[in-house]
Structure 1
Amino acid sequence: MRRPLLAASFGGSFTGHIWHRDQPILGSRRDRYMLEWLRARADVLLYGAGTVRVDRRRIRFTFPDLRSHYAERGGGSVPPLAVVATRADFDWEDPFWTTPTDKTLFLLGEARTEGIPGHVQVITDVPDLPGVLDRLGALGHSRVLYEGGGRLYASLCRLDLVDELFYTVTPWLMGSDAAPVTARPLPPQRYTLVSATTADQEVFLRYRTPSGRVWTTCAVPG
């Protein structure tokens, strides 16, 4: 069975930082539409544990046309959620974990499973990230959308598991001691620019990785 397609979606400053404590400044209404447009075409949404712990947001569609598109295609309110973690120390009452959809927690290593609520499917027999994607494929998911954060994205790139990157460049200059975008070093990789559009002082970029496949044949909304 072929591994499912994986696209990543980020919005950040033009210095490459993808997180700020006042996170809404990093994206406009147009950027939000782009994220939900991708979400409506995904079979499952993938997250790193750190993003889930920090963001604490319910996953939803805020645009009625995209909500309807996914409902017609996927038959639910939002795609299923999958989280990769090495420990299960989450606040299970966070809005993320009460999102009305199927939720799967992949625990890599020998993490304890006590206290995980019954509505979260726990998978402990997958040893690594390629195994996570293989299991998602076995569950019937052919298009995975990765929505954050930087550390897990770096690991996915290092293992050559990413097909496409959708990146919104916002008009903000930001700096910190952390490395931008991936938060950890990576060997150089030359991506191929597929499309670039501008709106609301933002640039919407679509890149394909060196060995990446086409995640969706639909053109990004202009």
Structure 2
Amino acid sequence: MDERCASWAERHTDPMRLLVSGSPAVTAPADLDALGDTALYAAYAPPREPWLRANMVTTLDGSATGADGRSGGINTEADHIVFELLRAQSHAVVVGAGTLRDEGYSSLSIDERWRGLRQGDGLPATLPLVAVSNRGHVPPQLAGIDDGTVLLATTASAPGLDDARSSLGEQHVIVCGDERVDPAQLVAALGRRGWTRLLTEGGPSWLGTLVAHGLLDELCLTVAPTLVGGDHPRTLAGPDVVVDLDLHALLEQDGTLLGRWLTRR
């Protein structure tokens, strides 16, 4: 937990409340702290597979980052809990190159709190990170991790393709597209590996690509009780799109709102 999350937890002790529930396993309203982790896990269970969800955070004035240019700058304790839970419910996490660079991603692990529920859900112990880069560049902090916990999705024309294969292992580099990564090809390739529960944590451009291609099933959006002003990215970037979503669940803790929004098909 970063220092901001720690200080927030010290100042605020309100329970996490389920205000709207789309799950028959948990009815609303409910005090999720009293019901325990099994109820919270059930409140976020994907309704079917395959399933592609995004997890993003925004301030009240619509910024996807804090003043420091990182989404971590606007995280709250409630957001951190759900962040780790969503990872625990996924086969793999797919992240765009810009976010990998800005947020300093390394290989992933499952928070101990959720490991038992993940195992009971039939999911493997490891959680691969899939980096998306049109140019095929492996971020320095991920270079040389060739055990299958880090993969790269890139293009056939990527200048860094050969170096990526050498760094991560050829079987861990997925070519899906000629000039730009084709998200539909990537989702299909991950599905062939048996990874049907996919989570993306951004960034806004990669999320915009998924939405434009009609691939997003769910947006988990945290609204932090913070204003930052300035000129910062929004949750979604890219060309204009019009996509309707339906509210599936809504949680609240210490003023942080956490919503599950399902794409209307």
Q: Could you tell me the TM-score, scaled by structure 1's length?
A: 0.82
For the 8 Å contact 2:136–2:155, the answer to whether it is kept is no
Q: Is the 8 A contact 1:86 1:109 kept in 2?
A: no
| Structure 2 equivalent of residue 110 of structure 1 | 157
- Using CA pairs under 8 Å that are at least 6 residues apart, name the structure with larger relative contact order, 1 or 2: 1
| RMSD value, Cα | 2.5
Say which SS state the counterpart of residue 186 (structure 2) adopts.
helix
Amino acid at match of 1:118: L
* C-alpha separation in 1, matches of 2:231 and 2:261: 27
Secondary structure of the residue that 2:163 maps to in structure 1?
coil
Alpha-carbon shift at residue 183 of structure 1 (Å):
2.6
Q: Does 1:11 align with 2:57?
A: yes
Match of 1:65 in 2: 113
Work out whether 1:75 is the aligned partner of 2:129.
no
Question: Are 2:86 and 1:38 aligned?
Answer: yes
CA separation in 2, counterparts of 1:186 and 1:52?
Answer: 24
Aligned length: 206
Greater shift after overlay, 106-115 or 176-185?
176-185
Structure 2 distance, partners of 1:99, 1:70, is 24
The equivalent position to 1:50 in structure 2, one of 98, 106, 115, is: 98
CA distance in 1 between partners of 2:206 and 2:175 (Å): 18
Instruction: Tell me how far apart the structure 2 counterparts of residues 75 and 196 of structure 1 sit (CA, whole Å).
Output: 28
State the AA in 1 paired with 2:213: L
Q: What letter corresponds to residue 122 of structure 1 in structure 2? A: V
Instruction: Report the identity percentage.
Output: 24
What's the TM-score, normalizing by structure 2? Answer: 0.69
Instruction: Pick from 70, 74, 91 the counterpart of residue 26 of structure 1.
Output: 74
Q: For 2:264, which of 204, 207, 210 is the aligned residue?
A: 210
2:41 aligns with none
**1:69 offset after TM fit, Å?**
3.0
Show CA shifts across 1:45-74 (max 9, x none): 111111111111333334x22133335543
Alignment of 1:82-97 (within 5 A): 82-92=130-140, 94=141
- 1:217 aligned partner: none
Deviation at 1:90, TM superposition (A): 3.3
Local SS of the residue matching 1:8? strand
Is residue 176–residue 185 contact of structure 2 (8 Å, CA) maintained in 1?
no
The answer as to whether partners of 2:72 and 2:103 remain within 8 angstroms in 1 is no
2:96 and 2:131 in contact (8 A); partners too:
yes
1:123 maps to 2:123: no
What is the alpha-carbon distance in structure 1 between the residues aligned to residue 146 and residue 200 of structure 2? 17
Check conservation: 2:204, 2:233, Cα contact below 8 A.
Answer: no
Distance 1:201 1:33 in 2: 15
* TM alignment of 1:173-192, pairs within 5 A: 173-178=227-232, 180-192=234-246
Distance 1:95-1:102 versus aligned 2 partners, 3 A rule: closer
